[in-house]
Structure 1
Amino acid sequence: MLVLSVILILKEFDIVDATHFGSLVTGASIVGVVAGVASQSILKDIFNGFFILFERQIQVGDFIVINNEYRGVVEEIGIRSTSIRDWDLKRITIPNGNINSVKNYSKTVMRVVVHVRVSYEENPKKVMDSLEEVCKIMNENFKEYIHISSNHRAGFKVYGITDIEKISIGVKYTITGVVKSERYFSALRDTKLQILLVFRKNNIKIGYPTNINILYKDDDNIFD
C-alpha cells in the first residue's frame, strides 16, 4: 500500500508518466504481494524465536530432535533461526517458524526403556532372572548413570513381559531405568550390551523372524 500511495502522489505532480502508470501499479502490486508473504514468514520466525527464548525450551549445549527429523547439539538460538550440530558435525540451521516440535534430551532426568525379544522356546522364569541380573549390573557398576530423586525410583528394574502378539518373532521383555539426562545415550547403549552379554552367558536366544513351512509327502492315496 505504501508503494502504491507513493506512485499515486508522483502521478498527481506529473512526476510519473500516466502512460506507464498501469505497468507501475502492476509492478508495485507484485512487489507488495512478495513483500507481504516475506514479511509474514519473517514475523512467524521472530515470534517462534521469541517464545523459544522466553520459555527456555532449549539452551545452547542441549541435545535435541526437531520435528522428528533433525537431531544434534544446539549451537545457536537466534530470533529468526536455530542452529544445531549433528552427529556428522554438519551445522543445520532451521527457521524458527518451521519448528513444530522439539524433543529435548538434556532436561535433568530421563527414563531409559529397553525392549528385547526372546524366543518362545526359552523359559520365561530364566529370562526374567537374567534381566534381573542385567539390572543388578547396571545399578552396581554404572551408578554414575542413575538419577537419585524422591520423585523417581532410582536404578534399573525389570518391567516384565510387554508383548506376546508377534508370534513369528518372540516374547518382548522390557526393563527400565531413571537416569541423568546427560547419561541417557550411554546408559541405553550399555544396557543393551549387558543384555547381550548376560544372555550369551546364560545361553538365552534372542528372538528373530522365523517362517514355518509345512511339507506334505507326495502320496497317491492322500485324498482316498
Structure 2
Amino acid sequence: MIEKIINSVLIVLFSYILLKLIKYFLKKIFNITRFDVRYENTLSSVLSSISYYIIFIASIILILREFQIVDVTQFGTLVTGASIVGIIAGVASQSILKDIFNGFFMLFEKQIQVGDFVILNEEFRGTVEEIGLRSVSIRDWDLKRITLSNGTITSIQNYSKNKMRVVVHVRVSYEEDPIKVLNSLEEVCCIMNDNYKEYLYKSSSGESLSPFKIYGVTDIERNPVGAQYTITGVIESYKYFSALRDTKLQILITFKKNNVHIAYPTHINILNHDNREL
C-alpha cells in the first residue's frame, strides 16, 4: 500500500513538472513567432488549458491503475472504468459541452483575445487575462479576478478591435451664441487631432479616415437646460479611454478660456416671510 501511495505521489509530481515544462516551451516557441502579441497570449492560454485537462485525466487513470481500480491492459476493467467515467460525464456533460463549444466559437471567431478590454454580459468589465476550454478570466478596475464559464457568456462588448469611435456630448446653455460654441468645439477638435495624430485610425495610405470633428447640434428638445453638441473621432482602440478622457478635459479647458458656459439645472426658490406679530 505504501508503495502505491509513493507511486501516486510521483505521478502527481511528474504531472506537475510536465505541465510546467509545456508552459515553458510554449513561451519559448511564441517568443520566436511573429504573431500578434494578443493572439500569441490567447493561443498559449488555450493550449495550456488543453494540456492541463489531458495531463489531469491521464494522471487520474494512472493513479487508479496503481490501486488496481482501472487496468488499461484488461478490456473488462477498462470497460468498467469507462462506464464509471461515462456516468460522471453524463451528469456534467451538458454544462461542460456548452462551455467547451462556446469557448471554441469565441476563439475561432476571434471574439476576444488575451489582453482585450471587454464587458461581458453587460455587467462584468475588465482586461482578459486567461481563456480556457471552460472559462474566461478577466481582471477588473479594482484588480479583482472574475471568472465566467464560457456557457454563461451571452454578450461581449470588445473595446480592443482595431478602432473605436470617441463620442462626446456636451450641453451648453441656450443663452450662449451657437457660433461661439461651435468655434470652441472646433478648437478642441484641432487640439485633439494634433495630440493624437499618431493614433487616429488611418487608411492603408496613411490618411486619417475619421479625425476629430464636430458632428453638430444633436438635441434641443429633450432637456430644458441647454442644447446638446457632439464631437466625434475614430481612434486606435487601445487609446480609446485616454482619448475620451482628454477630449472631455479639453472641452472644459477651452470653454473656460472662451467663456462658454456648460448648462446645468437651476432652481429658484421663493420664500414668503411673514413678519406679522400674532
Which residue, out of 146, 158, 175, partners 1:104?
Answer: 158
Which residue of 2 is the match for residue 128 of structure 1? 182
CA RMSD of aligned residues (A): 2.5
Q: Which deviations, in whole Å up to 9, do the C-alpha atoms of 1:84-137 show, x marking residues without a partner?
A: 011111110001111011011111111110000111111111101100000011
Give secondary structure in 1 for the equivalent of 2:170. strand
Letter in 2 for 1:182: Y
Judge conservation of contact 1:46–1:80 (CA < 8 Å) in 2: yes
Letter in 1 for 2:146: I
* 1:180 positional shift: 0.4
Q: 1:37 to 1:159 in 2, by over 3 A?
A: farther
Q: TM-score, normalised by structure 1?
A: 0.76
Q: 1:48 to 1:126 in 2, by over 3 A?
A: same
Task: Supply the distance in 2 between the matched residues of 1:44 and 1:214 (Cα, whole angstroms).
Answer: 64
Task: Supply the distance in 1 between the matched residues of 2:198 and 2:112 (Cα, whole angstroms).
Answer: 24
Which residue, out of 246, 262, 278, partners 1:190?
Answer: 246
Judge conservation of contact 1:168–1:208 (CA < 8 Å) in 2: no
Q: 1:167 to 1:90 in 2, by over 3 A?
A: closer
Judge conservation of contact 1:45–1:95 (CA < 8 Å) in 2: yes
* 1:212 positional shift: 5.9
The number of residue pairs the alignment matches comes to 186
Give secondary structure in 1 for the equivalent of 2:212. strand
The residue correspondences of 1:148-159 to structure 2 (distance < 5 A) are 148-149=202-203, 153-159=209-215
* 1:37 positional shift: 6.2
Is 1:118 aligned to 2:172, yes or no? yes
Which 5+ residue runs of structure 2 have no aligned equivalent?
A: 1-87, 273-278
More displaced stretch, 150-159 vs 77-86: 150-159
Letter in 1 for 2:178: P
Q: Which has the higher contact order (CA 8 A, sep 6+)?
A: 1
Judge conservation of contact 1:82–1:93 (CA < 8 Å) in 2: yes
Which residue of 2 is the match for residue 85 of structure 1? 139
Is 1:164 aligned to 2:220, yes or no? yes
Task: Supply the distance in 1 between the matched residues of 2:199 and 2:259 (Cα, whole angstroms).
Answer: 28
Letter in 2 for 1:169: V
Identical columns (%): 70
Task: Supply the distance in 2 between the matched residues of 1:200 and 1:148 (Cα, whole angstroms).
Answer: 32
Judge conservation of contact 1:76–1:83 (CA < 8 Å) in 2: yes
Give secondary structure in 1 for the equivalent of 2:232. strand
Judge conservation of contact 2:200–2:208 (CA < 8 Å) in 1: no
Task: Supply the distance in 1 between the matched residues of 2:215 and 2:107 (Cα, whole angstroms).
Answer: 38
In proportion to residue count, which structure has more helix? 2
Is 1:46 aligned to 2:100, yes or no? yes
Which 5+ residue runs of structure 1 have no aligned equivalent?
A: 1-33, 217-224
* 1:67 positional shift: 1.0
Task: Supply the distance in 1 between the matched residues of 2:199 and 2:261 (Cα, whole angstroms).
Answer: 28
Q: Which deviations, in whole Å up to 9, do the C-alpha atoms of 1:51-86 show, x marking residues without a partner?
A: 111211111011111111111111111111000011
Task: Supply the distance in 2 between the matched residues of 1:147 and 1:54 (Cα, whole angstroms).
Answer: 26
